[in-house]
Structure 1
Amino acid sequence: MQITKLSRKNIQALTPYQSARRLGGRGDVWLNANEYPTSPDFDLLTCQFNRYPEAQPTAVINGYAQYAGVDSQNVLVSRGGDESIELIIRAFCEADDSVLYCPPTYGMYGVSAETCGVAVKTVPLTADFQLDLPEIARHLDGVKVVFVCSPNNPTGGLIKRPDLLELLQMTAGRAIVVVDEAYIEFCPTATMVNELGNFPHLAIIRTLSKAFALAGLRCGFTLASPELIGILQKVIAPYPLPVPVSDIAAQALAPQGIATMQERVAQLNALRVDLQKNLAKLPLVEQIFASEANYLLVKFKDGQKVFQALWDQGIILRNQHTALSLANCVRITVGTADENRRVVQAISELS
C-alpha cells in the first residue's frame, strides 16, 4: 500500500510553498528571502527548560502591545506570521467557505487554505498593483477571509489606505480582513493598527523576521479585537513559543531593542535608495517598482538570464518570472552595501 493514498486528497494535490530555503542554492550572497543581512547578538537570560513555557508569554505580549500602541488583549503571539495565517483560516472557515487574495502576492495564503481544504478565490491586483475593489465585491459571496499584504510581497508597494477602508466596509459582517504588515517597520505610518477599534473584523499580521532581523526565531503576532483574539486562542497550540524564543523576543521588544531596530530600518532604507539608483543605470533593467520594504522588484529585459547568471555566481535572488503579471521580474532583497555592490556589478557584466 502506498502511504500517499492514505493522505487527504487535497494534500495529494498540494504543491508546497516554495520557500527560499526549500529552493536552495549555493552562494555567499543570500538576497532571496527578505531577511536582514546580518544577525543581532543576544544572550539567553532564562535557562530553565524543564518546564513548559507560558501559553502566551507575558513579557512578549506586553512588549509588543506597547510597541504597537495597542492593549495586551489585542495581541496574540505565534510561530511566525505564517502560523497566524493558518490559525485564522482554521478558526473561521467552514468546509464550504472560501479564502480570497489578490495576486501577485505572498504565496502562503493559498497554500494554507489548500492545506486546510478551503477553496481559494483570486482577484488579481490592477496593473499598478492595487486592489480591484469592484471585482472583489463581485467575488465576495462565500468568502470568509480576505488576505491583503501591504507593503505587498513581492511588488513592494503599499495598498492605498482608502481602498483598504472600503474593503473593510464592504466585508463588515461577512468576512475577516487580514492585512499582512510583515514589512510595516519600513513605512510605519502606513499601518492599519489605528483602525482596529473601528473594524472588529480586521486582523493585522506582524513579525520579528524582517526589520527585527530575527527570521530564525520564528516569532509573529496577530493584532485584532479581543473577541477575534479569543477565537484564535481556541485553536492555537498550547505552547507555541519555546522559552529561548520568548526570551530573545522580549529582549528585542525592550526599549533598547526597538531603538536598535529603528536604526537598522533607517540604514536599510538608505541602502535601498542607493541600490535602486545604481540598478536604474543598467541597460538590462527595464523597470524598478516603487518599494516601501526591504526589497526591490526589478523587471529585466531577460529576467531568467539575469537570475540564472547570478545564481551560478553564488548570488541568490528570488525569481518571480512565473508569478502573475511578473514575467522577467526578479525580487532582490536589500543586503549590505558590499552585497548590493556585488549584485549591481554582476548584472552590469552581463550587458
Structure 2
Amino acid sequence: MSFEQLIRRDLQCFSPYKSARSIKLQGEIWLNANESPYNDEKRLNRYPEPQPKKLKALLADFYEITEDELLITRGSDEGIDLLIRLFCTYNEDEILALEPTFGMYRVSASLQGVACNTCKLIAEDDFQFDKHTLLSSMTDKTKLVFLCSPNNPTGQIIPLEDIAELAKVLQGQSMLVVDEAYIEFSKQASASTLIERFDNVVVLRTLSKAMGLAGARVGSVIANKKLTFWLSSIIAPYPIPTPVANAAIEKLCSHASKACYQQEMEDINKARDMLYTFLKSQSIVIKIWQSYGNFLLCQFKENVYQILLDQRIVIRDFSSSLDIENLVRISIGTPNENEKLMKTIREIMKQNAAI
C-alpha cells in the first residue's frame, strides 16, 4: 500500500495554486505578477523563487539527499502543519506523539481539528522510549506518528534501528515523522537514510539550532520525491523570503562558517557534559537527565527557575506541563553564560546552607 492512499480523500484530486513564479518562464521584462517595477539593490520588489534553487542544492548536499527529496519550509513548524493538513481529515483522524515532547505537534493538530494521542514517557524510567508501548498507543485513526530525536525536552535519542522497525510495521497504516531538530548535537545517523526503503518515513530538519539561524526560520521536510511533490502543492506560494534565503546560502557556502559550525558543535557538547557533571554533583539537584541535544532537563529542590530569573538568567520552566515540581530545561550558552549560571547556582547553595 502506497503512502498516497493515506492522504486526505478530499485532496486526492487537489489542484494547487499556480503562482507567477511557479510557472517557469524566461524573460527580460516581467509584467506577470503585479509587482512594483521599481528595483532596489536587493531586488525585493520581486517575488522570491518558491523553492530557491541555490539554497535547495546546498541543503540537499548538507543533508546528503537529492534535491527532489527536500522541501524548504518556514522552520520545522510549517513542515508539521503541512503534514497534518495533507494527511488528517478534520474531526476524523488522529496523530500520535510522545509525552513529553515538542508542543507544536499537539498545537498544529488542534488548530486543524485533529486529535493528538500520546505515548507517555515515564520520568522514573529516565523517559526511555519503547516502540512496543508506542504501537499499543495507536488506533485505526492514527495517520501520523511524530518522534522527536533527540527528544525535546528530555534529550534522549531513539535508535535508528527502532525507527526502521517502526517504519516497517507502520507501512500502509501511518506516516512516521522523525523530527531531527537537534540531531547535530548527537552522533546518531539521520533517519533520512531510511526514506529510500520506506515511503512512509518523513524527516524534519532545521537550521535554527546547530547552524545558528533561528531568526531566519529555515526548515526542511525530507521524504520520497512523491511526498515532497504533494507537500509542495499545499505550501504557501512564496514561503522563503529573499533575505532569508540569502542568509542561509551565505552560511552554508562560507568555509569559515563550516569550520565555525564544527567547532561550535564540539564546544556545545563539551559544555553540556561539563554542566551535566556540575549539576549532578549539587545537593540542590534532585535529578538530571542525560541529553543528546543542546540542553539539559533538571529537577531542583528549590524554585531555581524564579531565583535565576531574578538574576536575569532565563531558563524554561516545565513544572506545570509535566506536573513535576521545580522541573526546568536549561539551554547551553556561551562559556561566560554557562559560568555565570554555575556561579549563581553555587551562591544559591551557599545561601541555603546559611539559613
Tell me the residue number matched to 2:184.
Answer: 185
CA contact (8 A) 1:280 1:288 kept: yes
TM-score normalised per structure 1: 0.83
Tell me the residue number matched to 1:54.
Answer: 49
Tell me the residue number matched to 2:113.
Answer: 117
Structure 1 residue runs of 5 or longer lacking an equivalent are 1-45
CA contact (8 A) 2:295 2:330 kept: yes
* Amino acid in structure 2 at the alignment position of 1:124: K
> Which of the residues 89, 101, 115 maps onto 1:94?
89
Tell me the residue number matched to 2:265.
Answer: 265
1:167-226 C-alpha deviation (Å, 9 max, x unpaired): 212211111111000011112433212111111111110111101111111111111100
1:21-54 C-alpha deviation (Å, 9 max, x unpaired): xxxxxxxxxxxxxxxxxxxxxxxxx711111000
Residues 280 and 132 of structure 1: CA distance in aligned 2, closer, same or farther (over 3 Å): closer
Q: Measure, in 2, the Cα distance between the counterparts of 1:269 and 1:254.
A: 24
CA contact (8 A) 1:201 1:228 kept: no
The equivalences for 1:181-220 within 5 A come to: 181-220=180-219
Tell me the residue number matched to 1:26.
Answer: none
1:233-285 C-alpha deviation (Å, 9 max, x unpaired): 01100100100000011122226233321221111111112222222222101
Tell me the residue number matched to 1:254.
Answer: 253
Per mean C-alpha deviation after superposition, the further-off stretch among 52-61 and 135-144 is 135-144
> Which of the residues 325, 330, 333 maps onto 1:332?
330
1:110-169 C-alpha deviation (Å, 9 max, x unpaired): 000001111111111242323333333232321001100000000111112232222212
CA contact (8 A) 1:60 1:249 kept: yes
CA contact (8 A) 2:126 2:289 kept: no
* Amino acid in structure 1 at the alignment position of 2:337: E
Residues 253 and 246 of structure 1: CA distance in aligned 2, closer, same or farther (over 3 Å): same
Q: Measure, in 2, the Cα distance between the counterparts of 1:53 and 1:71.
A: 22
Count residues with an aligned counterpart.
Answer: 304
Q: Measure, in 2, the Cα distance between the counterparts of 1:189 and 1:259.
A: 20
Tell me the residue number matched to 2:80.
Answer: 85
CA contact (8 A) 1:145 1:175 kept: yes
CA contact (8 A) 2:69 2:228 kept: yes
Q: Measure, in 2, the Cα distance between the counterparts of 1:275 and 1:196.
A: 36
Q: Which one has a bigger Cα radius of gyration?
A: 2
Q: Measure, in 2, the Cα distance between the counterparts of 1:280 and 1:263.
A: 26
Q: Measure, in 1, the Cα distance between the counterparts of 2:212 and 2:172.
A: 37
Tell me the residue number matched to 1:289.
Answer: 289
Tell me the residue number matched to 2:298.
Answer: 298
1:299-324 C-alpha deviation (Å, 9 max, x unpaired): 2123xx11111111110000111233
CA contact (8 A) 1:131 1:163 kept: no
Percent identity of equivalent pairs: 40
TM-score normalised per structure 2: 0.82
Give the CA RMSD over aligned residues: 1.5
* Amino acid in structure 1 at the alignment position of 2:313: I
Per mean C-alpha deviation after superposition, the further-off stretch among 286-295 and 100-109 is 286-295
CA contact (8 A) 1:100 1:122 kept: yes
Q: Measure, in 1, the Cα distance between the counterparts of 2:168 and 2:325.
A: 34
Per mean C-alpha deviation after superposition, the further-off stretch among 48-57 and 284-293 is 284-293
Q: Is the counterpart of residue 68 in structure 1 residue 68 in structure 2?
A: no
Tell me the residue number matched to 2:157.
Answer: 158
Q: Measure, in 2, the Cα distance between the counterparts of 1:192 and 1:128.
A: 23
CA contact (8 A) 1:124 1:132 kept: no
Tell me the residue number matched to 2:24.
Answer: none
Residues 259 and 75 of structure 1: CA distance in aligned 2, closer, same or farther (over 3 Å): farther
The equivalences for 1:228-247 within 5 A come to: 228-247=227-246
